């Protein structure tokens, strides 16, 4: 078993092309011996976003703090806020945007460990 304090996990800026004002933390991942999934936490600053991207596996998200939008390949935005869960299916092109002017959007993102 392992317990991790998120405040002690290194926060790394996202460098993927198309990302703006977003950073990633990995509180539970391959280094911890996870057998199947990596748990990541993304922080997106006001005005920031993840890149439009897709991947061949599903991922599941939980909004810890803030509000924003989950954007699909056609640019349609679905609002998300603290307490919401979201599922992105394999190969769905998507982007998360922070729509708040005064606070970060923080979310948990669960993906297969090999994508870490």
Encode pLDDT of 17-38 as tens digits.
999 999 999 999 999 999 999 9
Give me the phi and psi of 46, to 5 degrees please. Answer: -50, 135
CATH of the domain at 79: 2.60.120.10
| Host domain of residue 103 | 6-115
Q: Is pLDDT at 116 greater than 80 in this prediction?
A: no
Residue 17 lies in a domain: yes
Residue 1 lies in a domain: no
Distance (Å, rounded) from C-alpha 8 to C-alpha 23?
Answer: 15
The predicted structure's pLDDT at residue 107: 98
Residue 58 lies in a domain: yes
User: Is the entire prediction scored with pTM above 0.75?
Assistant: yes
List the one residue out of 67, 13, 21 whose CA is nearest residue 48: 21
Residue 87 lies in a domain: yes
| pLDDT confidence band for 86 (50 / 70 / 90) | very high
**How many domains is the chain partitioned into structurally?**
1
Residue 49 lies in a domain: yes
List the one residue out of 82, 87, 65, 85 whose CA is nearest residue 6: 65
Distances (CA, A) of 69 to 7, 72, 78, 105, 115: 25, 10, 5, 10, 23
DSSP state of 104: -
């Amino acid at each position: 078993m392992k317990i991790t304090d998120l405040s002690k996990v290194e926060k790394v800026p996202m460098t993927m092309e198309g990302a703006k004002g977003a950073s990633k933390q990995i509180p539970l991942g391959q280094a911890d011996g996870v057998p199947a999934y990596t748990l990541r936490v993304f922080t997106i600053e006001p005005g920031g976003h993840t890149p439009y991207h897709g991947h061949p596996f599903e991922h599941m998200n939980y909004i810890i703090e803030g509000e924003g939008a989950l954007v699909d390949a056609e640019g349609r935005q679905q609002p998300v806020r603290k307490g919401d869960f979201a599922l992105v299916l394999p190969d769905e092109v998507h982007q998360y945007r922070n729509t708040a002017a005064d606070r970060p959007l923080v979310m948990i993102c669960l993906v297969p460990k090999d994508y870490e």
